[in-house]
Structure 1
Amino acid sequence: MTMKTGTLTINTPDGKFSAYAAYPDNTPAPAIVVMQEIFGVNKVMRDICDSLARQGFVAVCPDLFWRIQPGIDITDQTEEEWKQAFGYFQAFDVDAGIRDVQATITHVRNMDETTGKVGTVGYCLGGKLAYLSATRTDTDAAVGYYGVGLDALLDEAGNIAVPLMLHIATEDGFVPKDAQKKVHEALDKNTHVTLHDYVGNDHAFARVGGAHYDAEAAKLANGRTATFFNNHLG
C-alpha cells in the first residue's frame, strides 16, 4: 500500500503548531496520533507515520516541542544532539503537551480522511504521553513504548477507561527496576491495560538505527501494536 504525506496545522488557545501527516490509499480510515521522542519530529517519527499509513491508518505526528522551538528535527547519532535533546526534554511542559495531544486528536477526529476513530502511540517521552493520553484525553486506544516516568503518574491509573498497551524494556537505562515494578503492581490487574516485558532489551529497542535497536523485539512489539489498533480502531 502506498500513501501520500502532508502537513497539518493544529490550533489551540495558546497558538498553533504543525503536524506531519501520512495517508493510506483508501480513506476515510482510522487514525493514529504518533507522539515523538526527545529528538522532535525527525525521520524516525516520519518513518513510523509512513509505516502506519501503509498499514491503512491516517498517521499524524504533532510538533509537541513547538512551545520551546518549532520544527526541531535532530537525530540520536551525536553527543551534541543528545545534549540538545535532553535540554528539550527538561524544558518540556508535560501538562501543556498532553493538551496539545488532545487538540491533535480532536483535529484528526474531525478530518474527512478519518473515520473518527483515533488512537495514540508514543515512544520514550511519547510513551509517557501515551499513558497520559489514556488518563487525560478522549483517545480510543493508546500504546506506549518504553515510557519514562510512569511510576510518578500511577495515581492517574483509575482514570484509564480505554484499551492501553505498554511495551516495557526490562533493562531500560531510563526506567529503573523499582519503577518497572511499581508500574506492574499498579496496572497488572487493570482490565483496560496490557503490559509486555521485553527481557534483556534496553530503552528504544524499536528505534531503527538506534544504539539499542533489536530487530526481533521491535518486530514483536510492532506486530502487537498493529493487532491492537486493528482490534480497537476498526
Structure 2
Amino acid sequence: MPTESMIRLTANDGHTFQAFRADPADTPKGAIVVLPDGGAAAGKLRKVADAFAASGYVVIAPELSAPTTTEAAADGEPAAAVQDPAAPLLAEIQSTVDSVKECGKVAVVGFGAGGGLAYDAANRVSGLACAVSYYATGVVDAAGAKRRVPTLLHFGEADPVVPFTAVSMFRAYHPEVSAFSYPGAAHDFDGDGETRDEAAAALAHERTLAWISQYVVGQPPIALKNAGAYALAKVDKKKKKKADDDMGPPAD
C-alpha cells in the first residue's frame, strides 16, 4: 500500500505551501506531480495519487496558491492587470518538482485547469521529463510555443468546455503534440461526477501510464520525421490498426 503524508514545501520567494504525497511500497521508478482541477475533491485526488503510486511512482500534489489577476491602484487609477498570473503557480510547481527529483525523472499530470497548468509547466518548469493533460482548459485557445518536452493530451469529443472543433484546429498547429480524443466523452470524463466515462477514463489512464513509463522509466523515443516526440501514439496506432481517436501526427 502507498504511504500517504502531507508535507510543506518552500517556494523560491520564501513562502511555504502544502502538498499531498504518496510513496510506493517499493523503490520508486520516478515521480509524478499531479495538478488537479480547481474544484477537485480530496477523495478524487487521493484516488489518482494512489493509482499512480501503486504503479511504482512517488506522487505529489501541491496545494497551489490562488493566482492574482488584478491589483487596484492606491490613488484611484484603474486597476493594473498582472502581466503573468500563472507565474506564482509555476514557481510553486517548480519547487514541487525540485522536492522529488531525487526519486528519478519527473512527469506532470494535470486535469482541467490543472491540465492547462501542466501544459504551461512543460515549457516553463525545469526538470520535467514529460507532461500529460486531461481536458485542459485554456490550451486550445492559446496554444503557445512548440513543446519542449514530450506532451500527451486527452480530450472528450463531447466536451462543451473544450470544443472538439477547437481541438482539431489546435492539433494542426502543434504536430509535435500527441493527442487522443474519446467519442461521447464529456468534460471531466475522468472525474467522480455525472460526466465520468469509465471506458474513456480507463483507456486514458492506460495511455498515460505507458507515456510516463516511456519517458520517465524507459529509453528516449526515436526521433521520427515530421513527428517530433511522437513515438508512443504511433506505436499504438500500428498495434490497433484503427485509431479514430488518435489525433497525433500522420504516419510518414
Fold match (TM-score > 0.5): yes
Mapping of 1:16-95 within 5 angstroms?
16-39=16-39, 42-65=42-65, 93-95=85-87
Indicate yes or no: 2:171 matched with 1:184. Answer: yes
Indicate the SS of the match to 1:49. Answer: helix
Give the letter aligned to residue 216 of structure 1.
Answer: A
Indicate yes or no: 2:148 matched with 1:164. Answer: no
Deviation at residue 30 of structure 1 after TM alignment: 0.3
8 Å Cα contact 1:118-1:233 kept in structure 2:
yes
Greater helix content: 1
Structure 2 counterpart of 1:122:
110
Structure 2 counterpart of 1:214:
197
**Which whole-Å CA distance do the structure 1 matches of 2:66 and 2:10 have between them?**
12
8 Å Cα contact 2:119-2:132 kept in structure 1:
yes
Indicate yes or no: 2:191 matched with 1:199. Answer: no
**Which whole-Å CA distance do the structure 2 matches of 1:197 and 1:28 have between them?**
30
8 Å Cα contact 1:40-1:65 kept in structure 2:
no
Give the letter aligned to residue 123 of structure 2.
Answer: T
Indicate the SS of the match to 1:212. Answer: coil
Structure 1 counterpart of 2:140:
151
Structure 2 counterpart of 1:109:
101
Q: 1:20 to 1:66 in 2, by over 3 A?
A: farther
8 Å Cα contact 1:123-1:145 kept in structure 2:
yes
8 Å Cα contact 1:121-1:142 kept in structure 2:
yes
Q: 1:166 to 1:132 in 2, by over 3 A?
A: same
Structure 2 counterpart of 1:8:
7
Indicate the SS of the match to 2:39. Answer: coil
Deviation at residue 161 of structure 1 after TM alignment: 1.9
Structure 2 counterpart of 1:134:
122
Indicate the SS of the match to 1:97. Answer: helix
- CA-based RMSD of the aligned residues comes to 1.9
**Which whole-Å CA distance do the structure 1 matches of 2:33 and 2:92 have between them?**
11
8 Å Cα contact 1:23-1:58 kept in structure 2:
yes
Q: TM-score, normalised by structure 1?
A: 0.80
Indicate the SS of the match to 2:50. Answer: helix
Larger CA Rg, structure 1 vs 2: 2
Number of corresponding residues? 200
Deviation at residue 57 of structure 1 after TM alignment: 0.3
**Which whole-Å CA distance do the structure 2 matches of 1:118 and 1:213 have between them?**
27
**Which whole-Å CA distance do the structure 2 matches of 1:6 and 1:41 have between them?**
17
8 Å Cα contact 1:41-1:61 kept in structure 2:
no
Give the letter aligned to residue 45 of structure 2.
Answer: M
**Which whole-Å CA distance do the structure 2 matches of 1:26 and 1:40 have between them?**
28
Structure 1 counterpart of 2:213:
230
**Which whole-Å CA distance do the structure 2 matches of 1:177 and 1:230 have between them?**
28
Gaps of 5+ in 2: 69-83, 218-252
**Which whole-Å CA distance do the structure 2 matches of 1:168 and 1:103 have between them?**
28
Give the letter aligned to residue 24 of structure 2.
Answer: P
**Which whole-Å CA distance do the structure 1 matches of 2:131 and 2:194 have between them?**
26
